């Protein structure tokens, strides 16, 4: 690299242009020779001597430029700036097309984009910004979940008419792990909650002389809401997290890639048996939870209110219609499907690290519980409006 004057001036030797001296009307920067990785260190020292000066495109001479690679082009960006070099590569007709394209590509890649300065937001604007970001994240989550649910249903309708593709063994194993193994904890929890509800009803209703209606309170609450809701929340924390961890570990170990390489569908292989098992297990657990809650309430009524078991059952039979039991049971398959879908979807979203498995496992539990409570609230409003 050297600085040489135009033809009407004497040629100056390389490096004779004083560092820091602005380019005048009669100064031309001549870039000669090969600019490749082999001479990178030598060229870098020369660029450093001239990099603090501003050069205009009309006074830069590239006629004697030899070979150039990306390393040399990056040095020219440092010397001239990305905009100047890009303009020079477009306007200079003496450069071969390959060199011009290389210089322009490197200049565009190294172009410094100004970082927008963060503006101070007031508390209201910051709150609205965070709210918008949260709503966008929720919308993206619902979009993915809707697509995954559609994929599950499409796969399910594809394999149902083909018994040869049914995976009975994984289905039975999933029923045992999600249903039978969860029976003790569901029964115990609903029994205790039933006792607590009965105690609460006896305490509040005694002020009105209506303690006998404690039976109705326990029966209504467990047949319509608590039986299915408590079982679903327990499965959301117990089973959805297990689905996420299992599928996530398979993804970390690249087992899902191996399944796809063998021409198999991971949804059919891993998701469908778990979804069907949940849809069988949760109604059973809901029924057990209803019975356990009624037994807990009956025990408290017998101890605290002197309402015998026979009288308790007679009131339930007389005042509680069958439709309340059916309302509670009708929500169980829907909750089961959503819990399994969320757990499996979060498993497929796991990245390549153990930390990602933990993050998505936690996310699956939170999302499952949120979806269960949300759907239960919507269903309660719907049934109330329908008079069921």
One-letter-per-residue 3-state SS of the chain: CEEECCCCCCCCCCCCCCCCCCCCCCCEEECCEEECHHHHHHHHHHHHHHCCCCCCHHHEECCCEEEECHHHHHHHHHHHCHHHHHHHHHHCCCCCHHHHHHHHHHHHHCCCCCCCCCCCCCHHHHHHHHHHHHHHHHHHHHHHHHHHHHHHHHHHHHHCCCHHHCCHHHHHHHHHHHCHHHHHHHHHHHHHHHHHHHHHHHHHHHHHCCHHHHHHHHHHHHHHHHHHHHHHHHHHHHHHHHHHHHHHHHHHCCHHHHHHHCCCCHHHHHHHHHHHHHHHHHHHHHHHHHHHHHHHHHHHHHHHCCCCHHHHHHHHHHHCCHHHHHHHHHHHHHHHHHHHHHHHHHHHCCCCCHHHHHHHHHHHHHHHHHHHHHHHHHHHHHHHHHCC
Last residue of a domain, one of 62, 89, 109: 109
More confident residue, 305 or 27: 305
* 174 lies in some domain: yes
Please tell me the predicted confidence (pLDDT) of residue 52. 64
Last residue of a domain, one of 60, 84, 109: 109
For residue range 311-363, what is the model confidence (pLDDT) as tens digits?
989 988 888 888 889 999 999 999 999 999 999 999 888 887 778 888 889 88
- The percentage of residues in the chain with a pLDDT greater than 70, rounded to a whole number, is 87
* 179 lies in some domain: yes
* Number of compact structural domains in the chain: 2
The DSSP bridge pattern shows strands 28-30 and 60-61 to be parallel
Whether 162 and 89 map to the same domain: the answer is no
Please tell me the predicted confidence (pLDDT) of residue 55. 64
Whether 351 and 281 map to the same domain: the answer is yes
* 138 lies in some domain: no
- Give the residue from 195, 189, 7, 31 showing the smallest Cα distance to 99: 31
Phi, psi for 29 (deg, rounded to 5): -95, 115
More confident residue, 63 or 328: 328
8 pLDDT exceeds 80?
A: no
Whether 95 and 153 map to the same domain: the answer is no
Reported as a pLDDT band with limits 50, 70 and 90, residue 5 is very low
* 63 lies in some domain: yes
CA distance 293 to 145: 33
User: What is the chain's alpha carbon radius of gyration, rounded to the nearest angstrom?
Assistant: 37
Please tell me the predicted confidence (pLDDT) of residue 353. 77
* 125 lies in some domain: no
CA distance 339 to 177: 15
Residue 289: C-alpha distances to residues 150, 181, 189, 325, 339 (Å):
31, 14, 8, 12, 18
Whether 80 and 150 map to the same domain: the answer is no
Query: Which whole number is the average pLDDT over 106-135?
Result: 74
Whether 158 and 212 map to the same domain: the answer is yes
Whether 78 and 163 map to the same domain: the answer is no
More confident residue, 22 or 80: 80
Is 106 in contact with 77 (CB distance < 8 Å)?
Answer: yes
Please tell me the predicted confidence (pLDDT) of residue 103. 80
For residue range 189-206, what is the model confidence (pLDDT) as tens digits?
999 999 999 998 888 888
* 137 lies in some domain: no
Whether 267 and 368 map to the same domain: the answer is yes
Please tell me the predicted confidence (pLDDT) of residue 51. 66
* 10 lies in some domain: yes
Kindly report which listed range (44-53, 127-136, 202-211, 341-350) carries the lowest average pLDDT score: 44-53
149 pLDDT exceeds 70?
A: yes
CA distance 300 to 298: 5
Burial of 209 (0-12, 13-18, 19+ CB in 10 A): exposed
34 pLDDT exceeds 90?
A: no
Whether 317 and 212 map to the same domain: the answer is yes
Kindly report which listed range (6-20, 230-244, 339-353) carries the lowest average pLDDT score: 6-20
Reported as a pLDDT band with limits 50, 70 and 90, residue 54 is low
Whether 260 and 379 map to the same domain: the answer is yes
CA distance 244 to 329: 26
Whether 192 and 268 map to the same domain: the answer is yes
Is 382 in contact with 374 (CB distance < 8 Å)?
Answer: no
Please tell me the predicted confidence (pLDDT) of residue 20. 37
* 337 lies in some domain: yes
Last residue of a domain, one of 86, 109, 132: 109
35 pLDDT exceeds 70?
A: yes
For 204, the domain range is 143-386
Whether 307 and 183 map to the same domain: the answer is yes
CA distance 178 to 176: 6
- Give the residue from 10, 85, 12 showing the smallest Cα distance to 47: 85
Reported as a pLDDT band with limits 50, 70 and 90, residue 290 is very high
Whether 182 and 89 map to the same domain: the answer is no
Quick one: CA dihedral 168, 174, 175, 181, positive or negative? positive
CB atoms within 10 A of CB 368: 28
């Amino acid at each position: 690299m050297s600085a040489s004057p135009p033809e009407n001036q004497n040629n100056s030797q390389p490096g004779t242009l004083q560092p820091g001296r602005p380019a005048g009307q009669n100064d031309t920067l001549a870039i000669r020779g090969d600019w490749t990785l082999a001479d990178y260190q030598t060229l870098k020292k020369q660029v450093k001597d001239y990099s603090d000066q501003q050069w205009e495109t009309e006074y830069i001479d590239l006629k004697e430029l030899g070979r150039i690679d990306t390393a040399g082009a990056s040095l020219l960006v440092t010397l001239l700036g990305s905009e100047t070099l890009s303009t020079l590569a477009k306007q200079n007709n003496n450069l071969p097309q390959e060199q011009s394209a290389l210089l322009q590509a490197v200049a565009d890649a190294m172009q410094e984009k100004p970082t927008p300065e963060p503006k101070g937001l007031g508390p209201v604007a910051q709150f609205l910004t965070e709210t918008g970001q949260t709503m966008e994240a929720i919308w993206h989550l619902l979009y993915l979940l809707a697509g995954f649910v559609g994929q599950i249903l499409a796969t399910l309708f594809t394999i149902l008419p083909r018994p040869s593709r049914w995976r009975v063994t994984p289905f039975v194993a999933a029923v045992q792990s999600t249903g039978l193994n969860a029976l003790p904890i569901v029964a115990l929890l609903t029994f205790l909650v039933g006792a607590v509800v009965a105690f609460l009803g006896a305490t509040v209703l005694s002020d009105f002389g209506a303690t006998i209606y404690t039976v109705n309170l326990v029966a209504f609450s467990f047949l319509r809401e608590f039986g299915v809701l408590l079982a679903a929340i327990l499965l959301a924390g117990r089973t959805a997290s297990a689905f996420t961890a299992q599928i996530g570990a398979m993804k970390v170990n690249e087992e899902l890639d191996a399944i796809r390489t063998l021409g198999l569908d991971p949804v059919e292989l891993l998701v469908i048996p778990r979804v069907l098992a949940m849809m069988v297990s949760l109604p059973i657990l809901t029924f057990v939870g209803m019975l356990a809650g009624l037994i807990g309430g009956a025990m408290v009524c017998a101890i605290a209110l002197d309402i015998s078991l026979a009288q308790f059952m007679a009131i339930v039979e007389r005042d509680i219609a069958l439709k309340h039991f059916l309302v509670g049971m009708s929500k169980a398959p829907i909750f089961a499907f959503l819990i399994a879908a969320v757990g499996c979807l979060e498993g497929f979203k796991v990245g390549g690290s153990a930390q990602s498995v933990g993050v998505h496992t936690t996310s699956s539990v939170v999302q499952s519980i949120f979806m269960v409570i949300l759907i239960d609230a919507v269903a309660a409003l719907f049934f109330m409006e329908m008079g069921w």
